Amino acid sequence: MKKNKKTSDFLHIGTKLLKWYDTHARDLPFRNTKDPYKIWICEIVFQQTRIAQGLNHYNNFIKRFPDVKTLAESQEDEVLLYWKGLGYYSRAINIHKAAQQIINDYNGVFPSEYDEILKLKGVGKYTAAAVSSICFNGKMPAVDGNFYRVLSRVFADDFDVSGSRAFTYFSELAHLIMPENVGDFNQAMMDLGSEICKPRNPICGDCPINDDCLAFSLHKISEFPVKTKKVKATDLELKYYFVHRNGQFLIQQRKDDFIWKKLFEFPLEISGELVTFIRSSKTVNHKLTHKNLSIEIFNVEVDSEEVWKNFIAENDYIITSVESSHEKSFPKPLENYIRNYETAYSIL
DNA sequence: AAATCGGGGGT
DNA sequence: ACCCCAGATTT
């Protein structure tokens, strides 16, 4: 099957895509630049993230960290703050380390070769291909979920996109249709996948390459792409203690080896002395892609200055306030809890 | 090769 | 409920 494909000429498909892209490209803030720093940041921000969801984060991030040097010299916690609510927080940690890599290993100049870009923390084959093609005329297809979907439909190919061999396989298919202008081709594939060749209810009537799409002509669009493995969520229960007094409350920073890497959280336990001050509890259900969270948060209002000071002295929690909590990154459910408390507290 | 890592939007 | 999104890293 693959052999037959290579005997034919599919380059005209890529050419059509470029022509379509000329008039249908999405107007996005990172489309007006070839600054590798900005392209890199946008590629990281939008990994597994829809444009609409990450757009504000991208703009705010670029405004605060306009170049590699600024980012490299910043504190990790502030980088995490600008990533608040975006998810996959190792991206923020890696993006910060990669900036320092560029300063230390590349004299502050963003590497232009695919193999060098690939060495940056948090940069994989997709991102290296995207940055090198868009900024440096590199010739690698930026194979992502859009490529899987578009190519599997165009060729009516049932190769499993959930396997680890999918990237190599669809890279080869991409080469069959890839024109000289790889940077625009990669972006055209993203826009086509987002606007036309959508996961569900694709708008095949508006598709510039529907004449070349085998799945379309066979009326089998819904059969592609083929994805066999599906991840199912597991349950996770957490207990937190919101220990507060006079608008101040206690937090600690998480490790980087589980969910919510290096984000801040409430204490996971309290002393027997503090149990008396539990006023209420609230259970929050929070759905993540891979976990169903049940979070029980105990409202611990410490009415004794002495007990408050004792507990602080015996633990290394961070004392924060509603105001200063704005400067730290919390997991979404805890962020919501704090904002509710903020609303109630400001009324008093 | 499989598991893990967030949050949000669409159907 | 389920799917998937400009994927990368760890095991």
Local structure of A59: helix, strand or coil: helix
pLDDT of residue A335: 97
User: Is the pLDDT confidence value at A66 over 90?
Assistant: yes
pLDDT of residue A18: 98
Per-residue flag: A201 CB under 7 A of strand B: yes
DSSP letter string over A128-150? HHHHHHHHH--------HHHHHH
- A3-12, A66-75, A335-344: least confident range: A3-12
Strand duo A234-245 + A291-301: pairing: parallel
H/E segment holding residue A297: strand A291-301
CATH of domain A234-347: 3.90.79.10
User: Is the pLDDT confidence value at A1 over 70?
Assistant: no
Mean pLDDT of chain A: 96
**Neighbour-count burial for A230-243, b at 16+ CB within 10 Å, e otherwise:** eeeeeeeebbbbbb
**H helices, E strands: number in chain A:** 17, 6
Per the CB < 8 A criterion, the answer to whether A205 and A233 are in contact is no
Phi, psi of A219 (to 5 degrees): 55, 40
Strand C contact nucleotides, protein CB < 7 Å: 2-9
pLDDT of residue A8: 72
pLDDT confidence tier of residue A4, bands split at 50, 70 and 90: low
Window 300-329 of chain A: CB closer than 7 A to strand B: none
Token pair for A154: 């165009």
Task: Please provide the size of chain A in residues.
Answer: 348
Distance between the alpha carbon (CA) of A43 and the C1' atom of C7, Å: 10
- CATH 3.90.79.10 domain range(s) in chain A: 234-347
pLDDT tens digits, A32-64: 999 999 999 999 999 999 999 999 999 999 999
Per the CB < 8 A criterion, the answer to whether A312 and A320 are in contact is no
Angstrom distance (rounded) from CA A331 to CA A168:
35
User: Is the pLDDT confidence value at A275 over 60?
Assistant: yes
Question: Which residues, at least 6 apart from A35, have a Cβ–Cβ distance to it below 8 Å?
Answer: A135
Nucleotide nearest to A227 (CA to C1'): C3
Question: Which residues, at least 6 apart from A117, have a Cβ–Cβ distance to it below 8 Å?
Answer: A40, A111, A123, A127, A128, A131, A132
Distance between the alpha carbon (CA) of A241 and the C1' atom of B10, Å: 35
Which residue minimizes Cα–C1' distance to B8?
Answer: A53
- CATH 1.10.340.30 domain range(s) in chain A: 2-223
Strand B contact nucleotides, protein CB < 7 Å: 1-11
Token pair for A58: 């991208």
Which residue minimizes Cα–C1' distance to C10?
Answer: A257
User: Is the pLDDT confidence value at A347 over 80?
Assistant: no
pLDDT above 90: percentage of residues in chain A: 95
**Long-range contacts of residues A167-173, Cβ cutoff 8 Å, at least 24 apart:** A167/A125, A167/A126, A167/A143, A170/A143, A171/A141, A171/A143, A172/A2, A173/A5
Per-residue flag: A124 CB under 7 A of strand B: no
Distance between the alpha carbon (CA) of A145 and the C1' atom of B3, Å: 19
- Among all residues of A, which ones are annotated catalytic? 43
CATH of domain A2-223: 1.10.340.30
Angstrom distance (rounded) from CA A239 to CA A249:
16
User: Is the pLDDT confidence value at A3 over 50?
Assistant: no
User: Is the pLDDT confidence value at A78 over 70?
Assistant: yes
H helices of A35-139, in order, are 36-45, 51-64, 68-72, 76-82, 90-105, 114-117, 125-136
pLDDT tens digits, A222-258: 999 999 998 889 999 999 999 999 999 999 999 999 9
Distance between the alpha carbon (CA) of A52 and the C1' atom of B9, Å: 9
pLDDT confidence tier of residue A344, bands split at 50, 70 and 90: confident
> Which amino acid is present at A198?
K
User: Is the pLDDT confidence value at A2 over 70?
Assistant: no
Which residue minimizes Cα–C1' distance to B5?
Answer: A88
pLDDT confidence tier of residue A6, bands split at 50, 70 and 90: low
Angstrom distance (rounded) from CA A150 to CA A185:
13
Distance between the alpha carbon (CA) of A85 and the C1' atom of B10, Å: 20
Nucleotide nearest to A165 (CA to C1'): B1
Per-residue flag: A208 CB under 7 A of strand B: no
Mean pLDDT to the nearest integer, A131-154: 98
Distance between the alpha carbon (CA) of A279 and the C1' atom of B2, Å: 44
Nucleotide nearest to A189 (CA to C1'): C6
